[in-house]
Chains A and B, each alone.
Chain A
Amino acid sequence: MSRVLRVGAGVAVAAAAVALVLVLPHWLSDARAAEFARAGCFFIAIIGLNLVTGYTGQISLGHGALMAVGAYTTAILTANHGFRDLWTVPLAGLVAAAAGFVVGLPARRLSGLYLALATFAFAVAMPALLKRFSGLTGGSQGINLFDKALNRSTGALGHVHVLGRTLATNDFLFYLTWGIGLVLAGAAWLLVRGRVGRAFRAVRDSEVAAASSGINTGFYKMLAFGISGFYAGVGGSLFVLVSNWFVSPSTFGFDKSLLLIVGAVVGGLGSLAGMAVGALFIQFVPGWSANLSSAPGAPSVFFGAAIVLVMIMLPAGLGGLFRRLTEPLTRRL
């Protein structure tokens, strides 16, 4: 398949995605739009995780903690420093990117499971650290922007004025998260197709070969963690907005980190379109499970069974299925 056609196919998929995001809120109830907006936050964080784990081959079990860094940056800047919540989103991304570099430091020396434990340690430590430094973070009470900075929380009063139109808050949050998500997905698409992406994949496929072709493997691993941290931070920052402008240490327990890696693998590592499916999976499947039976523990059983079944039937994730279905079409182009 020629390069022009491949780029054309990419543009067509992107255009379809944009169109879908634009029209979807018209069919969604208010509550449903809010759920989709949460999935949008997961989408952004999972794209970042995919860059580290799918493209660079470094397992991270700590991305929930990077989301926490982004979320608390937004909460603290908005509550105590007079920022408007929306303007803190890129700042949250940058702070989390710095945290990502630090988390990536052990990756220079550790690999595989040892790195998994190091990142997991970060995920486990995060809620404890947030509680410990309560002067900054509000301790286990968390930070409620609805109380502390109502006038700087966009849409907290139920609607938002954008470009001369009035949008319901949840529709606005839907457009906001998925809009940012699509832009960042596009950026990731460009990144993995360029020089940096080639270096990432070289590190993943063979570190020895990568190093002998002159790639500074340690630097690219840290770069992958840093960029990935930016994505997780933006996702976490938006997560504060979609969680009724509230964040607390229990929002980002280590289960969030596990959930993110589940989303990335179920979606299909190495596939950007699959990440959206993975995000929808971790947002909606637990809810559906709770609809099946509300007995204590039952939803967890159904959610676990869904994970196991998807993995058994589609070992390459749902993105792998997508690729397998479209391959017969695109091969003829």
Chain B
Amino acid sequence: MPVAIDWAGVAQQVVSGLSSGGIYAMLAVALVLIYRATGVVNFAQGELAMFSTFVAWTLTQHGFGYWTAFVVTVLASFAAGIALERTVIRPVERSPVLTTAIVTIGLFFIVNGAAFWIWSPEVKSMPNAFSTRPIRIAGVAFSISDLGIIGVSLLAVLLLWLFFRFTKLGLAMRAAALNPDSSRLTGIRVSWTIALGWGLATALGAVAGLLAAPPLGSFDQNFMQPILLYAFAGAVLGGIDSALGAVIGSLALGVFLNLLGTYVSWVGTDLRQAAALAVILVVLLVRPAGLLGTAVVRRV
């Protein structure tokens, strides 16, 4: 049976998939940042982003505009990320990777619990970041909000790339991640570059949370958990040690999930996560280090 494909509908779905993908991408890049610096997946990344979002929500309740709250929160998250690394991660810096990973699981419980404790469990809603009107491009109506989210997330990732590529500090951080011992010999304070990495990752996560919250309509303290799962999947799909891979993997995942949810009805909401992960598993079995990750060479 021939099915007429509605190309305008597909284009809308792709754009809205790219917009969720952009949010996953920022969180995925945050995961990659910390992974490259310390070899650990930060299980608390999503919850930290959630906490930042709730701080911003409180500011908007006290009369601040969305974008003022946005800037204040992102800066505060940067400082909080550094402080967190200094107090909680630094003591286990020399421990096995799994120990540090468990510390981040502990952080997950702490941050999630603290948010429930401070902001009661009722759902919240965030003012819109962008106009809710649609915009017509080539006869197809797109949501301004989707386009804005894509723009801001790409801009954030681009700024981060420029920082790592063109500044002395960025170079020092890359060196410290690549070879901590030699970097120490050249005078780089490796431990502080890790703290800075945590700061940047937390700030980037805050941007992700702040962009993700308004389109949800209402959200509670668990709203970042599925997003973290997709970001993790996107980062692994692209290759966990490649920031570009994480962006591409996350955007592809966002589009794929959206098309899957719209056009494959039997998948439904229950199996969406499972289906996405199954596809990633297949990709990984073909390319064990992700799309752009460095394959570990083993000669046996």
A residues near B (Cβ < 8 Å) are 53, 59, 106, 109-111, 113-114, 116-118, 120-121, 124-125, 128-129, 131-132, 207-208, 211-212, 258, 261-262, 265-266, 269, 295-308, 311-312, 315-316
B219-247 residues at the A interface, CB under 8 angstroms: 221, 229, 232-233, 236, 240
Kindly list chain B residues whose C-beta atoms are within 8 Å of the C-beta of A208: 298-300
Kindly list chain B residues whose C-beta atoms are within 8 Å of the C-beta of A315: 92, 95-96, 99
- The answer for the CA separation of A207 and B95 in the assembled complex, in Å, is 21
Indicate whether B28 reaches chain A with its CB closer than 8 angstroms: no
> Contact: A114 with B103, CB < 8 Å?
no
A114 touching B236 in the complex, CB below 8 Å, given contacts A109-B285, A262-B105, A300-B113: yes
Q: Which of A59, A111, A125 has the most CB of B within 10 A?
A: A125
Secondary structure at the A interface, as helix, strand, loop or mixed, is helix
> Contact: B109 with A128, CB < 8 Å?
no
Least CB distance from B299 to A in Å reads 7
- The answer for the CA separation of A208 and B299 in the assembled complex, in Å, is 7
> Contact: A128 with B271, CB < 8 Å?
yes
Kindly list chain A residues whose C-beta atoms are within 8 Å of the C-beta of B99: 265, 311, 315-316
Question: Could you say which of A110, A125, A266 contacts B278, with CB atoms under 8 Å apart?
Answer: A125
> Contact: B117 with A301, CB < 8 Å?
yes
- The answer for the CA separation of A66 and B227 in the assembled complex, in Å, is 25
Kindly list chain B residues whose C-beta atoms are within 8 Å of the C-beta of A304: 106-113
Kindly list chain B residues whose C-beta atoms are within 8 Å of the C-beta of A110: 284-285, 288
Least CB distance from A209 to B in Å reads 9
Number of chain B residues whose Cβ lies closer than 8 Å to a Cβ of chain A: 52
Least CB distance from A292 to B in Å reads 12
- The answer for the CA separation of A299 and B116 in the assembled complex, in Å, is 10
Kindly list chain A residues whose C-beta atoms are within 8 Å of the C-beta of B278: 121, 125
- The answer for the CA separation of A129 and B118 in the assembled complex, in Å, is 35
Task: Find the A residue at minimum CB distance from B233.
Answer: A117
Task: Find the B residue at minimum CB distance from A295.
Answer: B117
Least CB distance from B204 to A in Å reads 19
| Proximity string of chain B (195-234) to chain A, C-beta cutoff 8 Å, 1 when within and 0 when not | 0000000000000000000000000010000000100110
A-B pairs with beta carbons under 8 Å apart, 25 shown: A106-B284, A106-B285, A109-B288, A110-B284, A114-B289, A124-B273, A125-B274, A125-B278, A128-B271, A129-B271, A132-B271, A208-B299, A296-B116, A296-B120, A297-B117, A300-B113, A300-B116, A301-B113, A301-B114, A301-B117, A303-B113, A307-B103, A308-B106, A311-B95, A311-B103
- The answer for the CA separation of A154 and B278 in the assembled complex, in Å, is 39
> Contact: A308 with B113, CB < 8 Å?
no
Q: Which of A128, A299, A306 has the most CB of B within 10 A?
A: A128
> Contact: B88 with A308, CB < 8 Å?
yes
